[in-house]
Amino acid sequence: MTIRFDNRVAIVTGAGGGLGRAYALELARRGAKLVVNDLGGARDGSGESDAAERVADEIRAAGGEAIANGASVTNFEQVTAMVEEARARFGGVHVLINNAGILRDKSFANMSVEDFRLVVDVHLVGSANCTKAVWAGMREQGYGRILMTASSTGLFGNFGQANYGAAKAGLMGLTKTLYLEGAKYGIRVNTLAPTAGTRMTEDLMPPEMFQAFSPENVVPAALFLVSEDAPTNAIVGAGAGVVAASYVTLTPGVAFPPDRRTPEAVAEAWERIVDRTGEAVPKSGAEQGMMAVAQLQKLMANAGKT
């Protein structure tokens, strides 16, 4: 079965180059109408250019439909106007790929509060702004596909990227709530952690690796995650043609009786607490509490037998 996006309207933020451009071009090739969004700034978010218009021109030259938009994802009024323009021009919004981002890497000791806030504002708040702007319309039409762009830094950490990692981990948390809230309205929300050679990473990779991790090698995973038959609440890593799944898990844990609820008891039981045998993937935050209750009930039942 060929995945198509005919009669679908997609907004891709940060689509003036790199991953966003690759997503936009392939969505258009597969029938989607595109809103190509890009402020056009440098890697650190400064400056402006006509990058979005150039990509929209590419799409139109190939026979597709696209409009360019220069809204800053950090400005909710601008983002709302972008969504309204998409609805007026194309009739709705069915797909949103939150891809816009900047880097201001420094060790936490040398990072300014301004640099921390700005990166979080662009990645996390910017994605929330765009998602909020399309959310009501997706609920009304009973269909929506939203992709958050996380990172291995948000999943596993990376030296010198405290701001970036915090923002990316926040996006995974946003996904895990929105997939629950959107389920009955036909809205599916997923998280992609791409590894790609773009202007964001060109001086972080050797040339041969930079080529292997071309943005085009991430596109298949991204487009699947916004397709009609997409899963929801998935965390997917993609790069160099490899696609993998990541999970937030919870070990069974150890239940302590009332007279053993001390830091010393936790220290003594630590190896059992972190033992991953029988770990679970909760479908919501409430399941952590439910698992704790189950452990306590087991403890009480065993105490009653002695």
How many CB atoms within 10 Å of residue 252? 17
Q: How far apart are CA 126 and CA 107, in angstroms?
A: 23
Q: How far apart are CA 42 and CA 16, in angstroms?
A: 11
| Residues 48/37, Cβ–Cβ less than 8 Å | no
Instruction: Note the helical H segments in 124-283.
Output: 126-141, 152-156, 162-182, 207-212, 219-225, 263-268, 270-273
| Whole-number pLDDT of residue 298 | 86
Domain limits of the chain? 9-246, 258-305
Tokens in use for 271?
């190896």
| Whole-number pLDDT of residue 56 | 97
For residue 204, CA distances in Å to 71, 195, 207, 213 come to 28, 11, 10, 12
* Max CA separation in the chain (angstroms): 78
| Whole-number pLDDT of residue 301 | 86
Nearest to 282, CA basis, from 294, 269, 297, 300: 294
Rounded CA Rg of the chain: 22
| Whole-number pLDDT of residue 43 | 60
Per-residue pLDDT of 215-225, as tens digits, reads 999 999 999 99
Nearest to 191, CA basis, from 80, 82, 99: 99
Q: Which parts of the chain register pLDDT below 70?
A: 41-49, 197-205, 305-306
Residue 164 known to be catalytic: yes
Does the CA dihedral 225-155-41-17 come out positive or negative? negative
How many CB atoms within 10 Å of residue 210? 16
Q: What is the pTM of this model?
A: 0.93
**Residue among 23, 143, 164, 179 flagged as catalytic:** 164
| Whole-number pLDDT of residue 202 | 62
| Residues 191/131, Cβ–Cβ less than 8 Å | no
Q: How far apart are CA 77 and CA 69, in angstroms?
A: 13
| Residues 155/193, Cβ–Cβ less than 8 Å | yes
Q: Which CATH architecture has domain 9-246?
A: 3-Layer(aba) Sandwich (3.40)
How many CB atoms within 10 Å of residue 283? 11
Residue 149 CB partners (closer than 8 Å, separation 6+): 19, 97, 98, 99, 101, 123, 127, 168, 171, 191, 192, 193, 194
For residue 128, CA distances in Å to 40, 178, 180, 220, 260 come to 20, 10, 16, 24, 43
